[in-house]
Amino acid sequence: MGNGSEPSQTGGAVALAGPEPAAAPRIEGRSLGQIAWMRLKRDKFAMGGAVVIVLLVLVALLATPITALVGGDPNASHRDLIDGSSQLPTGAFGGMSWEHPFGLEPQSGRDLFSRVVHGAQVSLLVAFASTLLSVLIGATLGVVAGYFGGWVDAVISRLMDAFLAFPLLVFAISLVGVVPDQALGLSGLSLRIAMLIFVIGFFSWPYIGRIVRGQTLSLREREFVDAARSMGARSPYIIFKEMLPNLVAPILIYATLLIPTNILFEAALSFLGVGVPPPTASWGGTLSDAVQYYNTPHFMLWPGLAIFVTVLAFNMFGDGLRDALDPKGNR
């Protein structure tokens, strides 16, 4: 009987054990970059701004072949299409036609489409380069001030206050207006553009410097900085290898929002006659040439619309990028 009962007990044990439970599904984590990209893609306004920015950059890079499609030279004068008495283009809406989609400038008879397209080159070049200069100066001095503190922080902070106290527009007009014909191996248009980049970038760094300084004051008390110090890491290593990578997000956000400000500033200087020298096409210069014909505002429409769309696109993308990189946002 003992032998007869053993199989039933063994079978019962097997039956009670049952099948092994299925393994839990593996959940893959997401990096901060992946999370930020997912948030950014969900923001329709930010993505719309990004598309416009990409198109503007392509237009600036391909300005010459684009205007060649309509036979447009930004400096070519079409005096035969200008009324001799009023100095206005003949035809409706400022001389708009298939050959001149945006019409012609009064007096000079230059093609507005070509000048708006080529004006994107100057505006974007000055805006991007001056923003890069501001970021390099502001981020470096801001992280140094926040990390070392004490008298170093006091000196750099007072320097920021001094730069912020400058009446930037008045100073820029005074400085750019006395640019020599040749300096530093540059002359003419290249010298004027270099001076615009320097003036706008050099006097805009305190804004990003303050942001980076504030973030650095918080980061220097974090555990990873203490760990680096305990391992004997020197200050330059901690600043550039440990802290700056954690400051990329605020720097990138502010740089994106600073670009449209610099576009407006360059346009304002060109509008006042101390920016890009004529006959080089620029949005501000084209607005300045058209402002005396305020009774026919469509001459100001296209350069003004170009500035408006560009600034709006950068602002929408910058706001979306800020929300996407916010660690407290919804994932």
What value does the mean pLDDT of the chain take? Answer: 80
The total number of residues written for the chain in this structure = 331
Cα–Cα distance list, 35 to 31, 60, 146, 247, 257 (Å): 6, 32, 28, 17, 21
What mean pLDDT comes out for the span 120-132? 92
The pLDDT value given to residue 53: 94
- Where does 43-149 have alpha helices with state H? 44-61, 63-68, 112-148
Per-residue pLDDT for 3 more than 80? no
Listed range (50-64, 142-156, 243-257) with the worst mean pLDDT: 243-257
Largest CA distance in the chain: 128
Q: Mean pLDDT over residues 194-199, rounded?
A: 87
Burial class, 277, CB count within 10 angstroms (exposed 0-12 / middle 13-18 / buried 19+): middle
User: For 222-257, what is each residue's pLDDT tens digit?
Assistant: 888 888 888 888 888 888 888 888 888 889 888 988
d(CA 28, CA 138): 38
Give the residue, 56 or 322, on which the prediction is more confident: 56
Question: Looking at residue 311, what is its pLDDT?
Answer: 93
Using alpha carbons, select from 264, 298, 243 the residue that is nearest to residue 103. Answer: 298
Measured CA to CA in angstroms, residue 43 lies from 35, 39, 283, 309, 317 at distances of 13, 7, 30, 18, 9
More confident: 76 or 214: 214
Q: In order of start, what are the domains of the chain with their CATH numbers?
A: 56-324 (1.10.3720.10)
Residues 274/179, Cβ–Cβ less than 8 Å:
no
User: How far is it, in rounded angstroms, from Cα 235 to Cα 228?
Assistant: 9
Q: pLDDT above 70 covers what percent of the chain?
A: 79
| pLDDT-derived band at 51, boundaries 50, 70, 90 | very high
State the average pLDDT over residues 129-137.
Answer: 94
Rounded percentage of the chain residues whose pLDDT exceeds 90: 22
Q: HSE of 152 in the Cβ direction (CA atoms, 13 Å)?
A: 12
In the prediction, which pLDDT does 310 show? 93
pLDDT > 80? residue 134: yes
State mean pLDDT over 123-130.
92
Between residues 277 and 23, the one the model is more confident about: 277
Tell me the mean pLDDT in the region 147-171. 87
- pLDDT at position 103 is 75
pLDDT recorded at residue 79: 67
Q: What is the pLDDT of residue 274?
A: 80
Distances in Å between the Cα of 159 and the Cα atoms of 23, 112, 152, 155, 208 are 61, 43, 11, 6, 13
How far is residue 198 from each of residues 135, 195, 282, 287, 328, measured CA to CA in Å?
Answer: 13, 5, 18, 23, 37
pLDDT at 29: 56
Q: Which amino acid is at 176?
A: V
Helical axes 283-290 vs 298-324, angle rounded to 10°? 150
User: What is the spatial distance between Cα 91 and Cα 82, in angstroms, rounded to a whole number?
Assistant: 9
Q: What is the pLDDT of residues 88-116, one digit of tens each?
A: 666 666 666 777 778 777 777 788 888 89
pLDDT in tens, 281-302: 888 888 888 887 777 777 788 8
Band of residue 331 on the pLDDT scale cut at 50, 70, 90: very low
Does the pLDDT at position 73 exceed 80? Answer: no
